[in-house]
Chains A and B, each alone.
Chain A
Amino acid sequence: MTNSPKIICVSSGKGGVGKTSFSVNMACCLARQKQKVLLVDGDLGLANVDVLLGLNVRHTLRETIDEERPLSSILVEIEPGFKVLPASSGVPEMANISYEEQAFLINALENIIDRFDYVLVDSAAGIGDAVLWFNNWADNNIIILSPDPTAMTDAYALIKVLFHRFGKNRFHLLINNVKSKKEGRQVFNNMKNVLKKFLQISPDYLGAMPQDSAVVRAIRSQKPFLEISPDSRASRAVMEISSQILLM
């Protein structure tokens, strides 16, 4: 019987909001709860997943598109149950692949994902083609934003594009870098009110990630904060949020 994994795309609109850090740590967290997880670096031309994990990858998604290298041969195992599909760094052509290449990549992904329970896609920033079609491909869409006007605007704009262009109307909002849970709720409630008023969309609240120096230390160490600071506020928040993802 073919497994049908849950495909979750993590996006934000604005860059630097914490997509990759969240995606890496959430993938790690799910794997430690006995889930088989594939983390796809969806930032095809400016890869970051491998950087946050301290990987030296030899083959990337570029070889799959350019040379039709099987995806299974470029998977990198991080720990039992957690594998990564790495992208390339400094390759502008990969940031603008054609419809044909998009379809080829999606077909190649469809051929390997049945061995996983969860597929997380860490998308690029912005609203470029790859961001949109990875979001369209996914079953669940997580939008990360932080409590500042630019992040909120870009998150709203991304949702609006996905709604109008692809008919997506279910989104899970994660508020990152908050001072308190209360602040997280306030930002979410405001975004929810605007989405309901103008787009008739009612988003789900996935949770809030706190400001935490452990996150910065982990990024500089190129390791998940779940690994080097398992008792930190950020780690506890990720574990709490993972229980919601397991219910998706």
Chain B
Amino acid sequence: MQRSCRNGVQTVAIEDEQKRLVGIILFDASLDKKKIKVIATKISRDPDCQPNSLVCPVPEQDLLQRSRESCQVTVEERSQLFAFLNN
């Protein structure tokens, strides 16, 4: 894989049908939008993933927001984790 210049490089994360992060796309923002250079890289070793099939290009910000919402440990989960320590 060739590394592109850091400046002016926009990254977009891509997901498979199961909403798993399977790759990234790097856009060279210095080029005309009609001539975008795309480098897709597989970062998952799951053999079922198809990294070059752009099923759902998801903006990185949306991915981060989604993961923030669903990953926070809840009060109920915490209380269950600690419950046995006091038994």
Contact = CB atoms under 8 A, between A and B. Distances in A.
Interface of A: 7, 68, 98-100, 102-104, 106-107, 133, 136-139, 147, 149, 152-153, 156-157, 160-161, 164-167, 186, 190-191, 193-194, 197-198
Nearest to A149: B82
Nearest to A107: B1
B71 A100 contact: no
13 contacts: A99-B13, A100-B3, A100-B24, A103-B41, A104-B3, A153-B78, A156-B73, A156-B81, A160-B73, A165-B21, A167-B20, A191-B81, A194-B80
A98 B18 CA distance: 24
Interface of A is mostly: helix
B78 to A, nearest CB: 6
Contacts of B76: 198
Contact of B81 (A102, A136, A167, A190): A190
A163 B9 CA distance: 29
B85 A149 contact: yes
A98 B11 contact: yes
B18 to A, nearest CB: 5
B1 A161 contact: no
B61 interface: no
B1 A103 contact: yes
Given A99-B24, A157-B73, A165-B71, A194 B41 contact: no
Contacts of B63: 165
B49 to A, nearest CB: 10
A136 B21 contact: yes
Contacts of B20: 166-167
Contact of B67 (A99, A102, A161): A161
